[in-house]
Structures are given as C-alpha cells and as structure tokens.
C-alpha cells in the first residue's frame, strides 16, 4: 500500500472499531473542557476525571473559579501533577476569560493559545470537541502511531499534525483523532506493540521484520 491507501484503510477500519467517539474527559461545557484538557497534561484522562468533579462542584465557571484562591485550586488538582503551575494557569485564565472575553471561552486558536497553560494541542481539543471546528490534536498515542503506520516522519508533533492533515479529509479530523487515541490505548500500546504486533501493523506491513523505534513527542 502507498500512503494514501494506508490512510484510507486505517480510516475505514477505525470507523468499524469505534463508530462512536465519546470525549474521554468529563465536562459540561467549553470552560470545563478547557480546564480538564489543561489538567490532562502529563496526566491520564482517568485521573483527571477523578479530580474534576470536586473542582467543578466548587467552580464550574470563570466567575466562580476566580473566587477560589490559587492555593485552593492547587490543593484540589494536586493528584494531576504539576499542581502549582496548573493552578496558577487556571486562576489566571479565568480572570482573562472574564475580563477580555465576557466570561466565554474564546472560539479561535489565536485567542485560546494566548491563555496561560494553553498550548496548541489544548486549543485544538477545545476547538474540535467544544466548538466543532476542524482540528487534529496530536497526543503521544497519535504521534507514535502515525510513525508506526508510516504516515509521518515523526520529526515533531507539529510536523505530525501537518502530515496527518494531508493524509485525511478535513471532515474526518475531529472524530479520527479520537479513534486513533482509542486504538492506541486498547490495541497498540507503547509497551506491547513495537510496530510488529498489533493487527493494524501486521496488516499494513506484513513484510516488516524489525521493530520500529519512534521519536517521542
């Protein structure tokens, strides 16, 4: 298969495996999703989902969040790691959303990425999952699998995102990035598949004999 054929095959197979793509992070609106994604940096979605109910019970809007002290937020989000940095970012971005955006999460990449603690990946998740704009957030699973499936050189996550956007139709991006994550978590884990073991790797590269070393994000 050439790259286009691989991409089409992958898309078809993922649609069969994961026709439904529920968002892994529990949230109720764009603000709570933004906070949950911010907390997920270097932390599992499962862990985040155990922490956010307590946080959102006290503050599920920017107006309520700024009434908490940074220390109070830090105490709640500590299990997610990097708590001091994340707590300061949550408190500050809540102020900015109130002061600059009328209390609403901004609906543009530029404005989202201006918020503290919000990088391109976080902005991409919010744009795609909260607002429905085409985006292709690249996490560690996607970065790894795109290399194993030879859809990118894996030079960095920026290049991986560009390459994947070229491989797949824009209308599929929002759903497909979740499908790839689900596949990586369930069938092609970093510790159990080296490019030789899972069904996709076997089907796509039947003549591959050497384990692939991928470049980390």
For the annotated catalytic residues, the residue numbers are 121, 139
Q: Which long-range contacts (CB under 8 A, 24 or more apart) does 96-100 make?
A: 97/31, 97/62, 98/62, 98/63, 98/66
Shortest CA distance to 25 belongs to which of 178, 127, 131, 151?
178
Give the whole-angstrom CA distance, residue 154 versus residue 212: 12
Backbone angles phi, psi at 90, to 5 degrees: -60, -45
> Is residue 170 a contact partner of residue 134, using CB atoms and an 8 Å limit?
yes
Q: Looking at residue 75, what DSSP letter applies?
A: H
Please report which residue ranges of the chain form alpha helices under DSSP H. 3-17, 30-39, 45-58, 62-65, 70-77, 83-101, 109-113, 120-125, 140-148, 157-167, 173-186, 199-204
Q: How buried is 163 (Cβ within 10 angstroms: 0-12 exposed, 13-18 middle, 19+ buried)?
A: buried
């Amino acid at each position: 298969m050439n790259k286009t054929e691989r991409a089409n095959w992958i898309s078809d197979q993922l649609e069969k495996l994961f026709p439904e793509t529920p968002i892994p992070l529990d949230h109720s609106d764009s603000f709570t999703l933004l906070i949950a994604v911010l907390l997920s940096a270097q932390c599992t979605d499962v862990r985040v989902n155990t922490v956010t109910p307590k946080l959102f019970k006290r503050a599920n809007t920017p107006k309520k969040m700024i009434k908490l002290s940074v220390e109070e937020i830090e105490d709640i989000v500590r299990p997610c790691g990097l708590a001091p940095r994340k707590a300061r970012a949550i408190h500050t971005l809540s102020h900015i959303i109130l002061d600059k955006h009328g209390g609403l999460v901004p609906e543009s990449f530029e404005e989202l990425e201006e918020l503290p603690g919000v990088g391109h990946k976080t902005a991409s998740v919010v744009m795609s999952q909260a607002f429905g704009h085409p985006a292709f957030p690249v996490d560690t699973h996607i970065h790894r699998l795109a290399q194993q499936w030879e859809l990118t050189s894996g030079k960095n996550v920026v290049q991986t995102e560009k390459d994947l956007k070229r491989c797949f139709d824009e209308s599929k991006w929002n759903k497909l990035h979740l499908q790839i994550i689900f596949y990586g978590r369930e069938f092609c884990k970093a510790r159990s598949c080296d490019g030789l073991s899972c069904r996709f790797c076997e089907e796509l590269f039947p003549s591959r004999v050497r384990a692939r070393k991928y470049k980390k994000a």
